[in-house]
Amino acid sequence: MCCSRARRRTRRTEEDEEGEEEDEEEGRAQLAALPEGLRALAGEVRELVMRSTQLAVVPGWVGELTRLEALEVSGEEYDPKSVLKSLPASLGQLGSLKQLTLAWLGGLEVLQDAVVRLTSLGSLTIICCDKLRALPRGIGKLGALKELTLDELNELQEMPDLIGLTALGSLTIQYCHELRALPRGIGKLGSLKELTLRVLNELQEMPDLIGLTVLGSLTIENCNKLRALPRGIGKLGALKKLTLQWMYELQEMPDTIGRRRSTRD
């Protein structure tokens, strides 16, 4: 089920809430196809948001939007019924794209290798794509990427090498319940300033992070099978904030942490 985390809302009677949801569905039209007329604006469109559970195909001509800088393809929040299964290969032609968001796409099964050709991409966010089992193996080629967020990808079991992400400053991996290991090279991301790992139920070990020389914030929460932290964690000279919560199998702390007086844990 997409997004197992409960939505925080004001609690009212179930009858009132159901009635309101039915009214909203009746009054809201769902986008089934991208208007062909948009192609005439190919050289003008800078931002495009496609938000619908009924959109089955993103047309190949989207690759003609050569000045596009921000693209969101999403279903309805907390609704797993999106029918979109894949994105077009022409996505890789969007050389100006800086921000890509894929969210609440319950039917998305494959993320094409075309994504790794987005040489200007600075932010990639993937949220609640329940059937997505893998990321493109060449994702480490996104040399301009500064922010990567993977949130509630319930079928994701492994990640490709990220060692080529030399500009990456923020990495968040959370609620990926089947992820068994962190990506190779994560400890060599020399620009990484913020690393958040949260609710990774199958994660049992972590690689050495000693190469994260500018890391200022490290958060590890609810990684229930993680038994040990990297021994070099106390040698992270730039670390200012260390958060460890609900680590029930954690058996010991590296001695080097106790030598870091400026670090809060």
Burial of 51 (0-12, 13-18, 19+ CB in 10 A): middle
Q: Which two tokens stand for residue 70?
A: 């921000």
pLDDT digits (tens, 9 = 90+) for 101-144: 999 999 999 898 999 999 999 999 999 999 999 999 999 999 99
Q: Is the pLDDT of residue 25 over 50?
A: no
Look over the chain and give the mean of its residue pLDDT values, rounded to a whole number. Answer: 85
Q: Is the pLDDT of residue 238 over 60?
A: yes
Is the pLDDT higher at 15 or at 162?
162
Lowest mean pLDDT among 14-18, 121-125, 135-139, 206-210: 14-18
Q: Is the pLDDT of residue 172 over 50?
A: yes
Q: Is the pLDDT of residue 31 over 70?
A: yes
Structural domain contains residue 20? no
CATH of the domain at 81: 3.80.10.10
In this prediction, residues 143-163 reach a mean pLDDT of 95
Lowest mean pLDDT among 77-81, 181-185, 204-208, 239-243: 77-81
**pLDDT-derived band of residue 248, with 50, 70 and 90 as boundaries?**
confident
Q: Is the pLDDT of residue 234 over 60?
A: yes
Could you give the number of structural domains in the chain?
Answer: 1
Write out the residue range of the structural domain in which residue 253 sits: 56-259
Q: Which two tokens stand for residue 60?
A: 């190949």
Q: Is the dihedral of CA 29, 43, 115, 204 positive or negative?
A: negative
Q: Give me the pLDDT at residue 23, please.
A: 40
Q: How far apart are CA 19 and CA 3, in angstroms?
A: 22
Contact between 101 and 74 (Cβ < 8 Å):
yes
**pLDDT-derived band of residue 37, with 50, 70 and 90 as boundaries?**
confident
Contact between 184 and 207 (Cβ < 8 Å):
yes
Q: Quick check: helix, strand or coil at residue 50?
A: strand
Q: Which residue has the tokens 């609640």?
A: 128
Q: Give me the pLDDT at residue 69, please.
A: 98
Q: Residue type for 71, please?
A: L
Buried b / exposed e along 238-264 (16+ C-beta atoms within 10 A) = ebeebebeebeebeeeeebbeebeebe
Q: How far apart are CA 104 and CA 260, in angstroms?
A: 41
Q: In the chain, what's the furthest Cα-to-Cα distance?
A: 63
**pLDDT-derived band of residue 263, with 50, 70 and 90 as boundaries?**
very low
Q: Is the pLDDT of residue 20 over 80?
A: no
Structural domain contains residue 147? yes
Q: Give me the pLDDT at residue 230, please.
A: 81
Q: Which two tokens stand for residue 244?
A: 């460890």
Structural domain contains residue 181? yes
Q: How far apart are CA 209 and CA 2, in angstroms?
A: 31
Structural domain contains residue 63? yes
Structural domain contains residue 170? yes
Work out the angle at residue 224's Cα, subtended by the Cα atoms of residues 219 and 230, and round it to the nearest 5 degrees: 55
Q: Give me the pLDDT at residue 256, please.
A: 59
Overall pTM surpassing 0.75 (yes/no): yes
Q: How far apart are CA 43 and CA 243, in angstroms?
A: 46
Report the DSSP pairing between strands 170-174 and 70-74: unpaired
In this prediction, residues 93-105 reach a mean pLDDT of 97
The phi and psi torsions of 89 (rounded to 5 degrees) equal -65, -25
Q: How far apart are CA 183 and CA 165, in angstroms?
A: 12
Work out the percent of the chain whose per-residue pLDDT is above 70. 84
Q: Which residues contact 90 (CB under 8 A, 6 or more apart)?
A: 60, 61, 62, 63, 64, 114
